[in-house]
Structure 1
Amino acid sequence: MPLRLILPNMVTLLALCSGLTAVRMAYESRWEFAVGAVLIAAVLDALDGRVARLLKGTSRFGAELDSLADFVNFGVTPALMLYLWILKEAGSLGWIAALAFAISAALRLARFNVALDDPDKPAWAVQFFTGVPAPAGALTVLIPIYWGFLGVLPQWPEFAPGVALYTIGIAFLMISRLPTYSGKTIGTRIRRDYVLPLFVVAVLLVALTVSYPFQVLALVSALYLVSVPFAWRSHSKLLLADKNLASDDDGDCEDTDLDHLGDRHKDDAS
């Protein structure tokens, strides 16, 4: 097999190793490393598809492997981490919340794979996902852990039912029909005068994440949740524009048909 087909799958397997390592770190109560491993898995998940497209190494095998890895990394791993962190204090409710999140991740990934084969999607649909994607769901559902390290949400048993309800809420966002920003069209082409500032921003973002990981993750996750209503509004506007355009086209067709009909009556009369 050519190396260009193997490299993207190696990136996917590295992401899977990182996600599974997060489970080990959680069992050992090394939460900083557990959260960091999930973050690394999310970064690698964003890279493997781009590497495949860059090297022209996309394959059906790679797509299936990516979905299986995403289920483990962003479905099973966050659910187990939250359960070990605080959900176990809620008893059966905590375990039900963990199950709901993991199952929702599987359903969301299955729906995403099916949607790839839809030929009727408009061109602008690439700007949106249907529901919260699995990596974003994993990073946002871990907000209670971020808050715990920031002193906002201590590991008190009294908070466990609330965290369970929050976990179930994120699970429903993953399987919902709400449009969310995909970010796929961002960064495809960069203006020359933006290249150097982009490097500086990227370095600052990495430095801040390394130095203040829980602050940055808590802020970014909160901003992502806030962006969901704006994505829904943008999606609704584009959908309405498509409907108006379709109705205009139908009206033009009807006018054309009437013109032809009128011409036919004139011919018959003559």
Structure 2
Amino acid sequence: MSPMPARDDVGTHRGLPFRALAPNAITALALCFGLTGVRFAVSASGEGPMLHWEYALGCIILAGVLDGMDGRIARLLKAQSRFGAELDSLSDNIAFGVAPALILFLWSLQYAPKFGWIAALALAVCCALRLARFNANIDADEQPHKSAGFLTGVPAPAGAGLAFIPVYAWLVTGNDVFRDWVIVLPWTLFIALLMISNLATYSWSSLRLRRSYRLFALAGVGLLGAALVTNPWLTLFVICALYLALIPFSIASYSRVKRRRAGAA
């Protein structure tokens, strides 16, 4: 009689379950959308139609939507894995660091003397540093921001969205002043610094909704979806502006949490 196969061999012959493949496939799709955004930006940077800039931004936004789905689907299917976490970080670095940096460079920063490419590099490098810090601390016992339900710095997808604020304004108004590198370069550096900052920013787990506000929240989500369909760039501009306006409140909220913990200790 032949010996029974080892347990690992049995698992190998059974193959990878589909539930483990699905979230990783979504992550890979987000990566593809990020790189496709660069492709449209390259087409538009010559004599391509203005619509290609909209396609480029749309690809990054779709990558952000997919990035928000993959982790939740992995938890729903109980398919979390170290491989999935590493793939997610690599995808985020390309879709929300490298791709937005190249799009902004082709759209505006290439016209800046000497320092345009440096600003684009800063956005990509700071995104990579933020993700590396997140991965390094993922198993750390002491994470004050995370334990209180906050994030450290601006997350990569939000950073990409904020970096595009001048592009949103240009698409809404058609005014080329928003495309001037004098505005875009310092703005890009500012967002890059926000991503690697130690500021406490809101996460989904830090937000609480009263039961009496549920219907209003659902109505708001529906209206937001309609606004994104009818006037996406103005809506995204307003969303990003509100996110920036909430950062001082998130810092104040975390300070209150720290004081309560210190008092309890």
TM-score bin, normalised by smaller chain? 0.7 to 0.9
Residue pair 1:94, 1:161 contacting (<8 A) in 2 also: no
- Count of equivalent residues: 243
Q: Does 1:22 align with 2:50?
A: no
What is the percentage of aligned positions where both structures have the same residue?
Answer: 47
- Which letter maps to 1:244? G
Shift in alpha-carbon separation, 1:69–1:193, aligned structure 2, 3 A: same
Determine whether 1:170 maps to 2:185. no
Question: Structure 2 counterpart of 1:206, which letter?
Answer: G
Q: 1:210 aligns with which of 229, 233, 240?
A: 229
Report the residue type matching 1:149 in the other structure: L
| 1:152/1:224 CA distance change after superposition, 3 Å | farther
Aligned counterpart for 1:137 among listed residues 159, 162, 180: 159
| Structure 1 unaligned regions, length at least 5 | 247-270
Q: Secondary structure at the match of 1:150?
A: helix
Q: Structure 2 vs 1, CA of residues 186 and 64 (structure 1 numbering), >3 Å: closer, same or farther?
A: same
Taking structure 1 as reference, are residues 123 and 75 closer, same or farther at Cα in structure 2, changes over 3 Å only?
closer
52, 55, 59: which one pairs with 1:33?
A: 55
Instruction: Report whether the alignment pairs 1:55 with 2:77.
Output: yes
What letter matches 1:175 in structure 2? I
**What is residue 5 of structure 2 aligned with on the other side?**
none
From 117, 123, 127, the counterpart of 1:105:
127
Check 1:141–1:123 CA distance in 2 against 1; reply closer, same or farther (3 A cut). Answer: closer
Matched AA of 1:7: A
- Listed one character per residue, the Cα deviations across residues 17-61 of structure 1 (whole Å, up to 9, x for unaligned) are 111111111111201111111111101101100000000000000
Alpha carbons 2:166, 2:178 under 8 Å: kept: no
User: Aligned partners of 2:60 and 2:125: how far apart in 1?
Assistant: 18
What aligned pairs does 1:235-254 form with structure 2 within 5 A after superposition? 235-246=254-265
Change (3 A) 1:40 1:66: same
Q: CA separation in 1, counterparts of 2:260 and 2:103?
A: 43
Partners of 1:245 and 1:210 in 2: CA distance: 48
Conserved 8 A contact 2:96-2:127:
yes
The match for 2:240 among 209, 221, 226 is 221
Alignment partner of 1:231 is 2:244:
no
Say if 1:85 and 1:155, in contact at 8 Å, map to a contact too: no
Q: What is the aligned counterpart of 1:125 among 138, 147, 150?
A: 147
Larger radius of gyration: 1
Q: Secondary structure at the match of 2:75?
A: helix
The one-letter code matched in structure 2 to 1:21 is T
1:4 aligns with 2:23: no
SS in 1 for 2:176: coil
TM-score scaled by length of structure 1: 0.83
Q: CA RMSD in A?
A: 2.2
Shift in alpha-carbon separation, 1:193–1:184, aligned structure 2, 3 A: closer
User: Which residue is equivalent to 2:181?
Assistant: 160
The worse-fitting range, judged by mean Cα deviation, of 205-214 and 67-76 is: 205-214
The runs of at least 4 consecutive aligned structure 1 residues that moved more than 4 Å come to 189-193, 196-200
Aligned pair 1:85/2:107, yes or no? yes
User: What is the rounded CA distance, in whole Å, between the counterparts of 2:218 and 2:203 in structure 1?
Assistant: 22
In the superposition, the TM-score normalised over structure 2's length comes to 0.85
Offset, 1:115: 1.9
